[in-house]
């Protein structure tokens, strides 16, 4: 079980799906049809990388290679041990490849588990390599591909690469590597820019449990002095309540090392040393190098992925701009992080999508993509630029562009009495709504008590937040007809704070009718008055003009605040309402702002102070969202 769970993590599959999958009767046990090899593949600088190769015994035909490079372990280790999916080929994400006799390759990246060398988080790409010691993840992929083509019997000379999350980053590096045998690459929820909007930093604010729990509690950030097969044991928090842990036991970020980490997590210290967009972050961005790419590309993401939604959208867009001659496609489904690798994908949280979206994706999108580029005689995938799932009506679209053609930037204004309307306000200058934000009593991001997040929080009912006095709530009247929003949502506010810094979290919400809509009477009752979170994100106010050069607020001075929320594809159906919530804490998903212009990593517990925020809504100082409305 432990080994099977490890492989689920490797492929980005939620481990909880293992129990669901194993309840299904397997179609066939593929282990007798495959042979496993464990090899140490030499890189150009002499380091050797552990690689597990699972190849069909059938020698009557040549087989394509499907490779995943991972920092999360290529287990199970042992010449005779096979991953669980070989005995359960009903899992959508692998069954087609098993049936078609793919060669599976899994590799521990440099410095992880059994591979030699030093591990570097999101290792920078080196465009100007002058000698064998100049290595990066692209060169390691190139050297691996070259070895595989020359040393794996029965391969057909074509390699595909796929990976989710961190392995998505390594997949993007495979596309950059330029090896001629790499014909098709699918970076899925790829880590792209940790300071830009992936995983750990959104709008300059830290996703606290993501960073702390990933590097410390889950052990990813601890040193590995020697190659090992051992999994790092998780650290217990001492309480099941993550809100309490981060507020009371951790407190200010400056407490992390003296209370818990003791300088044992190198990347935590690097985060603290680079609180702005500087050279450290610039060289760790994959986007500038996604140019003149040769393999066909299939970028995959989930509309409700709190970790790497930004990466999927922005890496795709960068490749589209910089590799105009490349087959470059985007897939966005109604998924949390990696959910498309699961068994069903038919629901998230309280919401039911009405179909097995993971099955559809794997059978109708991903498998045809790899089969066409890696096998002979396979039909071309249907023509599309973006395969995207529209939530609300819950249906797939195959479009010739993303964002789709025909969207119109449409302002919706914050109005008096908590109204939200297409018409701008008429109130005199200086009209505003206000709230007091107290970092000692921050607004929770979820109504649940937990540490690592429930993936369903990205669509969670927001009534628990709407009832707080430190949340501003604006809503439209019930819509007479559906309103389809397709693309990024822009926040264009005028705000003020009594301090010199403040966070602003903006949430876009679909309010269901009080009787619920669709499905059984029980389902309608469950969703009556439901406030579905469609999109929400944060801007740390000091970064409002630049991520490189933060600026303080002048206390109580009206100040423009503009930032972009990630794309959506959602229809607010007739009878529903569009709601916007504005707040300044979202804890502990977002770390707290002390209300002072300072390096928050150095703040002490005593530095945190309540501040009063103002959001203006007058004719001369309107606050609005710009929605990309599809006509």
Please give the average per-residue pLDDT across 82-93, as a whole number: 88
Token duo for residue 12: 């980005």
* CATH code for residues 407-630: 2.60.120.260
Sign (positive/negative) of CA torsion 355, 359, 364, 369?
positive
Mean pLDDT of 79-90: 90
Residue range 252-262, pLDDT digits in tens: 999 999 999 99
Over residues 569-585, the pLDDT tens digits come to 999 999 999 999 999 99
Confidence at residue 16, expressed as pLDDT on a 0 to 100 scale: 30
Among 591, 481, 483, smallest CA distance to 243 is for 591
- Six token digits for residue 525: 């009752």
B/e letters for 407-445, b = 16+ CB within 10 Å, e = fewer, are beebebbbbeeeebbeeebebeeebbbebebbbeebbbb
What are the extents of the domains in the chain? 2-193+284-399, 203-281, 407-630
Query: pLDDT value at position 24?
Result: 41
Widest distance between CA atoms in the chain:
81
**297, 137 contact by CB (below 8 A):** no
Q: Please, what sign has the CA dihedral across residues 310, 201, 539, 469?
A: positive
CA 243 – CA 251 distance, rounded (Å): 10
Q: Is the dihedral of CA 553, 555, 561, 566 positive or negative?
A: positive
**Domain at 203-281: CATH architecture:** Orthogonal Bundle (1.10)
- pLDDT attached to residue 438: 98
Q: Residue 523 burial (CB < 10 Å; 0-12/13-18/19+)?
A: middle
Cα(351)–Cα(27) distance, rounded to whole angstroms? Answer: 30
In this model, does residue 101 exceed pLDDT 50? yes
Q: Rounded CA gap, 299 and 375, in Å?
A: 20
Looking at the domain 2-193+284-399, which fold is it? Rossmann fold (3.40.50)
Q: How far apart are CA 530 and CA 576, in angstroms?
A: 10
- Which region among 229-233, 270-274, 330-334, 569-573 has the lowest average model confidence (pLDDT)? 229-233
Report how far residue 596's alpha carbon sits from residue 434's, in angstroms, rounded to the nearest whole number: 18
129-168 pLDDT tens trace: 999 999 999 999 999 999 999 999 999 999 999 999 999 9
Whole-number mean pLDDT of the chain? 93
How much is the average pLDDT of 98-120?
A: 97
Q: For residue range 365-420, list pLDDT tens digits in order.
A: 999 999 999 999 999 998 999 999 999 999 999 999 999 999 999 999 999 999 99
Please tell me the predicted confidence (pLDDT) of residue 11.
Answer: 42
pLDDT number for residue 31 = 95
């Amino acid at each position: 079980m432990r080994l099977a769970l490890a492989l689920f993590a490797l492929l980005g599959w939620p481990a909880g799906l293992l129990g669901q999958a194993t309840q299904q009767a397997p179609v066939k046990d593929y282990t007798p049809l495959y042979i496993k090899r464990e090899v140490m593949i030499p890189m150009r600088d002499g380091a050797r990388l552990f690689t597990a190769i699972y190849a069909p015994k059938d020698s009557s035909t040549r087989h394509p290679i499907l490779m995943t490079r991972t920092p999360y372990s290529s287990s199970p280790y042992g010449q005779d041990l096979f991953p669980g999916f070989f005995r359960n080929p009903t899992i959508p994400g692998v069954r087609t490849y098993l049936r078609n006799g793919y060669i599976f390759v899994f590799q521990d990246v440099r410095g992880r588990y059994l591979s030699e060398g030093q591990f570097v988080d999101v290792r920078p790409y080196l465009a100007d390599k002058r000698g064998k010691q100049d290595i990066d993840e692209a060169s390691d992929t190139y050297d691996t591909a070259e070895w595989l083509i020359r040393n794996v019997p029965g391969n057909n000379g074509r390699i595909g690469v796929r990976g989710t999350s961190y392995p998505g980053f390594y997949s993007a590096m495979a596309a950059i590597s330029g090896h001629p045998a790499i014909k098709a690459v699918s970076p899925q929820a790829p880590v792209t820019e940790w300071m830009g909007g992936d995983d750990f930093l959104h709008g300059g604010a830290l996703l606290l449990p993501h960073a702390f729990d990933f590097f410390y509690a889950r052990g990813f950030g601890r040193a590995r002095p020697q190659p090992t097969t051992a999994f790092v044991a998780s650290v217990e928090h001492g309480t099941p309540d993550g809100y309490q842990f981060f507020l009371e036991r951790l407190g200010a970020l400056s407490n992390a090392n003296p209370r818990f980490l003791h300088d044992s997590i190198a990347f935590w210290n690097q985060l603290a040393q680079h609180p702005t967009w500087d050279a450290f972050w610039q060289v760790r961005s994959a986007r500038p190098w996604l140019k003149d790419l040769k393999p066909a590309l299939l970028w995959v993401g989930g509309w409700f992925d709190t970790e790497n939604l930004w990466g999927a959208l922005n890496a795709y867009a960068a490749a589209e701009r910089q590799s105009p001659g490349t087959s470059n496609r985007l897939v966005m489904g109604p998924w949390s992080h990696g959910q498309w690798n699961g068994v069903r994908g038919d629901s998230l949280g309280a919401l039911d999508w009405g179909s097995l979206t993971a099955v559809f994706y794997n059978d109708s999108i991903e498998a045809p993509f790899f089969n066409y580029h890696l096998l002979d005689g396979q039909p071309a995938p249907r023509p599309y630029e973006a395969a995207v799932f529209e939530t609300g009506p819950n249906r797939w679209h195959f479009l010739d562009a993303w964002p789709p053609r025909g969207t119109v930037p449409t302002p919706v204004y914050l109005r008096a009495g908590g109204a939200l309307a297409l018409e701008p306000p008429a109130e005199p200058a200086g009209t505003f709504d206000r709230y007091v934000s107290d970092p000692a009593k921050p607004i929770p991001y979820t109504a649940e008590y937990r540490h690592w997040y429930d993936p369903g929080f990205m669509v969670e009912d927001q009534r628990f937040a709407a009832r707080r006095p430190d949340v501003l709530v604006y809503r439209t009247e019930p819509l007479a007809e559906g309103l389809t929003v397709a693309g990024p949502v822009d926040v264009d506010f005028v705000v003020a704070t009594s301090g010199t810094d403040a966070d602003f979290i903006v949430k876009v919400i679909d309010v269901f009718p009080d009787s619920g809509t669709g499905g059984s009477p029980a389902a309608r009752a469950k969703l009556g008055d439901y406030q579905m979170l469609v999109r929400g994100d944060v801007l740390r106010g000091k970064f409002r003009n630049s991520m490189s050069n933060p600026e303080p607020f002048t206390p109580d001075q009206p100040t423009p605040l503009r930032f972009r929320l990630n794309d959506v594809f959602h229809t607010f159906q007739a009878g529903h309402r569009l709601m916007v919530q504005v707040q300044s804490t979202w804890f502990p998903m977002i770390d707290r702002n002390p209300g002072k212009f300072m390096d928050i990593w150095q703040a002490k517990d005593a530095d945190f102070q309540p501040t009063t925020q103002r959001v203006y809504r007058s004719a001369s100082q309107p606050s609005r969202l710009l929605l990309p409305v599809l006509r």
